[in-house]
Amino acid sequence: METKSFTASGRKVTVYPCAAPNKPVIYFNTFKDEGEDVHNLLKETDREKFTLVTVNITEWDHDMSPWAIPPVFKGGDPFTGGADGYLEILINEIIPRVEEALQSISWRGLAGYSLAGLFAVYAVYRTDIFSRIGSISGSLWFPGFREFADTNEMKIKPDKMYFSLGDKESRTANPYLKTVRENTEAIEKFFREKGVNTVFKLNPGNHYNDPAGRTVDGILNMIDG
């Protein structure tokens, strides 16, 4: 089946469909348009047994942040807390348009890198439509998120959740980013103790080492089992 693209509320959506029926669909929110790199790597694995859908997020610090916080980087932009609004677009506009063109699906997953990895975990608390989650080098340092995860009720207990992080990501003087490993390990443990099948992988390098390769590892782990 041919790759198809469309625009939904100003966001470019690209569908890399699987020809076989009743296969998983993985939704992957991307910064800029790195979804093509991820798709090309997935083709090389000869394990493309699912439909990949990439959404190009233009307002990254807005759409992927669960609530508003001031900048955490010197010279950075504030995070403006638009995750709930974007999730409505994803659920009500993007997913129906994607899946009406597919014969059938077996399950639906949500994956993301960096701030989109945070968004993927946040979605568990806002909707029950994603049964598997991939938080790849997720921004789980986000102020207040660890407490939010501990004290709020999930809308769904996912079948599987994949977490990963670079082993140098927490080696920083930034007071927020330095918590990322501690928070990621604590959140993974929280879900595991709730009975979720979880995986945590520590990759070599910092946040910017091989994001496409790490994403492919995460997605393939999501579809296994």
Q: Per-residue confidence of the chain (225 residues) as pLDDT tens digits? A: 789 999 999 999 999 998 888 999 999 999 977 888 999 998 887 566 899 999 999 999 999 999 999 999 888 999 999 999 999 999 999 999 999 988 789 999 999 999 999 999 999 999 999 999 999 999 999 999 999 999 999 999 999 999 999 999 999 999 999 999 999 999 999 999 999 999 999 999 999 999 999 999 999 999 987
Type of residue at 23: K
Q: Which CATH superfamily is domain 4-223 in?
A: Alpha/Beta hydrolase fold, catalytic domain (3.40.50.1820)
Query: Which pTM was predicted?
Result: 0.96
Strands in the chain per DSSP E: 4-8, 11-16, 23-31, 51-57, 68-69, 79-80, 105-113, 132-136, 160-166, 197-203
Q: Any alpha helices (H) in 90-203, and if so which ranges?
A: 95-99, 115-123, 145-151, 180-193
Domain segments of the chain as ranges:
4-223
**What SS3 class is residue 174?**
coil
